[in-house]
């Protein structure tokens, strides 16, 4: 127990290293100036990436609204004709995807 306390005292008695930025001796933007040539060359790619992320975010917004409309108008109103039609359309899309059709091409794992 004595050695643990001595080790703790020794660790807590150390002084922290000085920070030149906190004292106002250095410029914080000096290191950012080193990035300027890279950013100047590659800003179109970065802007395109930001545009893609914004577009993906906007496209994910209407999905819950469509699902809510489906639940409110089809399921709660018991419109079975529309419900069966949506199930059939979903199954047709599912069977068009080769990943869900075993034995069709390379996706199923078994050849003809």
**3-state DSSP call for residue 64?**
helix
**3-state DSSP call for residue 105?**
coil
For the entire predicted model, the pTM comes to: 0.40
The per-residue pLDDT for 71 is 80
Residue 43 pLDDT level (bands cut at 50, 70, 90): very high
Domain ranges of the chain: 62-112
**Which stretches of 15-96 are DSSP H helices?**
36-60, 62-70, 80-96
| Spatial separation of the C-alpha atoms in residues 54 and 35, rounded to whole Å | 25
The per-residue pLDDT for 51 is 97
Which residue's entry shows tokens 């906190």? 22
Burial class from Cβ neighbours inside 10 Å (0-12, 13-18, 19+) for residue 104 reads middle
Per-residue pLDDT tens over the stretch 50-84: 999 999 998 888 877 877 877 887 777 777 777 77
7-11, 22-26, 36-40, 75-79, range with the lowest pLDDT? 22-26
């Amino acid at each position: 127990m004595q050695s643990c306390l001595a080790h703790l005292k020794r660790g807590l008695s150390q002084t922290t290293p000085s920070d030149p930025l906190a004292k106002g001796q250095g410029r914080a933007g000096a290191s950012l100036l080193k990035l300027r040539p890279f950013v100047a060359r590659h800003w179109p790619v970065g802007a395109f990436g930001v545009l893609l992320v914004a577009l993906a975010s906007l496209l994910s917004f209407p999905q819950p609204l469509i699902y809510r409309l489906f639940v409110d108008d089809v399921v709660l109103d018991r419109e079975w004709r529309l419900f069966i039609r949506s199930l059939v359309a979903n199954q047709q899309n599912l069977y068009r995807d080769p990943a869900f059709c075993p034995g069709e091409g390379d996706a199923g794992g078994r050849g003809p």
